Structure 1
Amino acid sequence: MKIAPWLAGIVASVSLVLAAPAAAQSYPSKPIRFVVPYAAGSASDILARTLAEPLSKAMGQPFIVDNKPGNNSTLGTQFTARSAPDGYTLALATNSGLAASPGGLTGGVQYDPVKDLGYVGLVGSIYYVWIVNDGVPARNARELIDLIKANPGKYNYASGNTGGISFGGHIRNAYGLDMTHVPYKSTPPALVDLIGGQVQVMMADVASALPMIRAGKVRAVGVPSAQRNPLLPEVPTFAENGLQTPPDMRGWWAVVAPAGTSEDILNRLNGELVKILNMASVKATLLQNGIVATPSTRQQAAQYQKEQLQVWTNIVTDLNLKAE
């Protein structure tokens, strides 16, 4: 029997509507590639492997961690953006690949983090702490700023990563401090020289600085965030010392997928991710590595990325930053 053209159109439309939920319900039917844009052993790699096991159990298919480092995390992020939008390639992207590098920190970025990616949700953050060695008499952030102002040219400040460079540069500029920046390629050697007295001041990520703080080898004078850090509850914020809270330049992660990935798939992934990040065991594991779990909705993740892109664009311009 021949179907009238108008009826055929209705049948086709109904078929598409019914097929979409069916496709989502059958997802996933094979392993999911979980791209990490940093090398094995990095904080991103540790975080991805912490999430991969419970995600595999929740989704019924293996999450296979695939390390694709390079160009300040942009190579792995770009790989994900250019993958098929079928839910089988995800990435644990960072503030470097989603905000700092697209904001001008790194050249050769060939994707738009807003248009070319879909956001599953935020995952976690690494915060920073302002530290000094025993030779510096300041006990809090206000005292340290006053001390540096009273002794122009006397103090050096170290940095071991992009966050340290950015926070240190912002504070120096915001308060007109006459202090010399001593950049290091990574945080550990910077901490060694801080303890040894070659440099006196440093803005370091909490994960790296915490063992030295607890051992009494360096002293924390303040955290440049809106709230106290759960790993350093005794250390006051800048605001508690009468200072302005610096821009949000912490390190953070989000799970992303190629743009065009099904809304149903993204929503399911978000639901499982939020459950996992709220698990006490997962939160404890992350905290042991200096990471604070930050579960979010998809919309919150996308909005935060846009806000961070603007923050980092301004920072890169103001401080004339370039990744090496």
Structure 2
Amino acid sequence: MQHTHSSRRQFLGLMGAGLAGSALVLPGAASAADTLGSRPVRIIVPFPAGGGGDTLTRMVGDALSQQLKLPVVVENKPGGDGVIAVQELLRAAPDGHTIMFGTPSALLYTPQLTPKRPPYDPLKDLAPITHFSSFTYYVYVSDALPVKTMGELVDYVRKHPGKVAYGTGDSTQLVAMAQLCDQAKLDMIHVHYKGTSQAFTDFMGGRIQVMVGGFDLEEQSKGKALPLATLLPERSPLKPNVPTLGEAGLAPVTTRAWTAFFAPAKTPVPIIDQLNKAFAATFQNPKLQDFFKSRGSVLQASTPEAMHELLVEQMPVFAKAIKTLNLYRD
């Protein structure tokens, strides 16, 4: 779908970017505000250096630098489930030279944990630039349980309520499993970890019997982890024999595993467009495409509008899971 320049101004204006057009009042100001300057572009990452999100961002940042013909610097701001990174972004000038690698944890989960005092409004304070990647999660069961299918796991949990523990390593996993347990009426113990690697350690040690993980967890576990179902609406070509939840006779989950890039809300529309086009061109790099595909991810750009719509769609999904698990903070 083609979007006019004025419609994009209106779209970003809904998120607090209405000042983007005010520069037109001053002669010469518009041209200065409508393009990136000569300074480096800083990408804030809400994770420590060396992690998966950091590594992928640095790879894309190197290629993005060639498209923009500007240096691209990755800066790690971990902590606070993404709050520290978002607040760093919001302190920056809305000129396109500071952007952020965003995930559901920072954009959908954390802001809704404190409904009376949310740290920021992701729909008003941030401007989406583009979708980055999406990936497949699977429900895995330990070989310690006598089950081989999702149906057998459901039967086992119903016969042993409160006895089976499952672990999640990020908010997307947490919300997906909260939906699954709620819809299938499963009484399991939930253990929330700061990362999938910590959940995996306890999974291998027998402290949890079910977990959510990526396509390579089965190999990492040396056969101890059996994938029972994919959380995507369709089967993944990486594991074509693993059914969807729907094929297993269960209601599908509606959460989506994604990453994206964001700017401060008042960033001028032409700069958002410039960054969007640069990312889209970067993502077409065959080596990047092959690398992401080998990791079970899809590298795909989107319009800013489409990314905004995904946030709007997913906000109530996360809100319901937070309420179901009573995860609210004071």
Shorter-chain TM-score: which interval?
Answer: 0.7 to 0.9
Mapped partners of 1:149, 1:234: distance in 2: 25
Structure 1 residues 282 and 169: CA distance shift in structure 2, 3 A = same
What's 1:72 paired with? 81
Q: Extract unaligned runs of 5+ from structure 2.
A: 1-22
Mapped partners of 2:286, 2:141: distance in 1: 33
Structure 1 residues 200 and 105: CA distance shift in structure 2, 3 A = farther
Corresponding residue pairs, total: 308
Amino acid at match of 2:292: L
Give the alignment of 1:1-324 within 5 angstroms: 20-21=30-31, 24=34, 27-104=36-113, 109-202=118-211, 204-206=212-214, 209-212=217-220, 215-250=222-257, 252-322=258-328
User: Would you say the 8 A contact 2:165–2:209 is kept in 1?
Assistant: yes
Structure 1 residues 227 and 19: CA distance shift in structure 2, 3 A = same
Amino acid at match of 2:217: A
User: Would you say the 8 A contact 2:138–2:215 is kept in 1?
Assistant: no
Structure 1 residues 193 and 96: CA distance shift in structure 2, 3 A = closer
Mapped partners of 1:17, 1:146: distance in 2: 71
Amino acid at match of 2:306: Q
Mapped partners of 1:34, 1:125: distance in 2: 19
Percent of residue pairs identical: 32
User: Would you say the 8 A contact 1:157–1:181 is kept in 2?
Assistant: yes
Structure 1 residues 322 and 223: CA distance shift in structure 2, 3 A = farther
Structure 1 residues 261 and 163: CA distance shift in structure 2, 3 A = closer
User: Would you say the 8 A contact 1:101–1:107 is kept in 2?
Assistant: no
User: Would you say the 8 A contact 1:103–1:310 is kept in 2?
Assistant: no
Q: Could you state the TM-score of these two structures normalised by the residue count of structure 2?
A: 0.83
Q: CA deviation at 1:216?
A: 1.9
Residues 5-57 of structure 1, C-alpha deviations (whole Å, 9 max, x = no match): xxxxxxxx9995875356535x3322111111221112221121011111100
Structure 1 residues 38 and 158: CA distance shift in structure 2, 3 A = closer
Mapped partners of 1:256, 1:201: distance in 2: 33
User: Would you say the 8 A contact 1:105–1:323 is kept in 2?
Assistant: yes
User: Would you say the 8 A contact 2:136–2:214 is kept in 1?
Assistant: yes
Q: CA deviation at 1:210?
A: 4.5
User: Would you say the 8 A contact 2:101–2:260 is kept in 1?
Assistant: yes
Structure 1 residues 184 and 260: CA distance shift in structure 2, 3 A = closer
Mapped partners of 1:131, 1:14: distance in 2: 55
Moved over 4 A (4+): 13-19, 105-109
Residues 239-261 of structure 1, C-alpha deviations (whole Å, 9 max, x = no match): 122211112153x2211111121
Mapped partners of 2:79, 2:251: distance in 1: 35
Q: Extract unaligned runs of 5+ from structure 1.
A: 1-12
User: Would you say the 8 A contact 2:61–2:73 is kept in 1?
Assistant: yes
Mapped partners of 2:162, 2:263: distance in 1: 48
Q: CA deviation at 1:172?
A: 2.2
Mapped partners of 2:89, 2:327: distance in 1: 26
Amino acid at match of 1:276: T
Amino acid at match of 1:66: E
Residues 59-103 of structure 1, C-alpha deviations (whole Å, 9 max, x = no match): 000111111122111111122123211111111122111111112
User: Would you say the 8 A contact 1:116–1:259 is kept in 2?
Assistant: yes
Mapped partners of 2:201, 2:93: distance in 1: 45
Q: CA deviation at 1:150?
A: 3.2
Structure 1 residues 255 and 22: CA distance shift in structure 2, 3 A = same
User: Would you say the 8 A contact 1:126–1:207 is kept in 2?
Assistant: no
Residues 218-241 of structure 1, C-alpha deviations (whole Å, 9 max, x = no match): 110001221223432321110122
Mapped partners of 1:259, 1:275: distance in 2: 23
Amino acid at match of 1:240: E
Mapped partners of 2:62, 2:329: distance in 1: 33
Structure 1 residues 95 and 17: CA distance shift in structure 2, 3 A = farther
Mapped partners of 1:43, 1:323: distance in 2: 28
Q: CA deviation at 1:207?
A: 5.6
User: Would you say the 8 A contact 2:24–2:30 is kept in 1?
Assistant: no
